[in-house]
Amino acid sequence: MSSLELSDLHEADVPQNVALARSVGWKDVESEWRVLHRAGHVRGVRHEGQVVAQGVLGDYGNCASLAKMVVAAAYQGRGLGGRMLDGFLKLAEARHLPVGLCATEQGRPLYASRGFQVSGEIAVLFGEVRAGAPVPATVVTLADAERAVELDARLSGCDRSRVLRARFAEANARLELKTEPGFALALDHGDHTLVGPIVAESEAGARALLLGVARAARGKLRVDVPLSQQGFRSWLVEQGLAEMGHRVEMAWGAQSMPWQAPARFVLASQAWG
């Protein structure tokens, strides 16, 4: 096991991060991993220079997110996932931070074994918005990353400035509302656009932002929506998107996470809550 030690990973490792994620069927892209490195603490395991396990602890100031925990198929069953998880939880415990995540069915037993509890559930929707839906005049271009940070601070219960700045730099759609606090970002994933976050005071505002993203990005969208936003989910289906499945959200050190706020209509991503 001496050759399979945990160490920090860096932005130069992005191509390997993407390759490892894709080896287990995830559709990760380099822009997504650049955000992860800039806004979180990426650790992993190398063997003969190759990254064979990885994960990310995201920093939200008063809480943390855990994401992208994956071990290459040939290295599974050696306890690497548990060692990575315990290392991240030790870092969070030292700062007295609760930790949240979205769990796959495969990963859920490991998280539960460390005391994570289900705190919510999300629906994954995918598809193309039907043509002809007008974008309300209330939707305008988001001027800069600091405007997103300012708006998010009003509506979110944690400091998401690092991830918002990193996501803004990579985004292919950046929008806000003129009539109420609210904004949307989206990231190009090649064959589709990953929408998120969408944060707004009202469902009407969230709908307007989603239509704006659809016009700016064009093509297929992936949208991760809390199940609690029932009206918004139903409206997305009416617009032409289909529900592809559900994922549970889990929390460690708290019953729920600050970012699970009423104004969250679309997750930043499953990595960021």
Q: Check residue 218 and give its pLDDT.
A: 83
Q: Which CATH number fits domain 6-118: 3.40.630.30, 2.60.40.10, 3.20.20.70, 3.40.50.300?
A: 3.40.630.30
Q: Cα–Cα distance between 263 and 258 in angstroms, integer?
A: 11
pTM for this prediction: 0.93
The contacts of residue 250 (CB under 8 Å, 6+ apart) are: 100, 101, 102, 103, 108, 111, 112, 116, 117, 118, 119
Q: What is the mean pLDDT of residues 238-254?
A: 96
Fold that domain 123-266 belongs to in CATH: Aminopeptidase (3.40.630)
- Which residue reads 């469902």 in tokens? 203
Domain map (residue ranges) of the chain: 6-118, 123-266
For residue range 85-110, what is the model confidence (pLDDT) as tens digits? 999 999 999 999 999 999 999 899 99
Closest CA to 67 of 45, 47, 41, 91: 41
Q: What is the pLDDT of residues 197-221, one digit of tens each?
A: 999 999 999 999 999 999 998 899 9
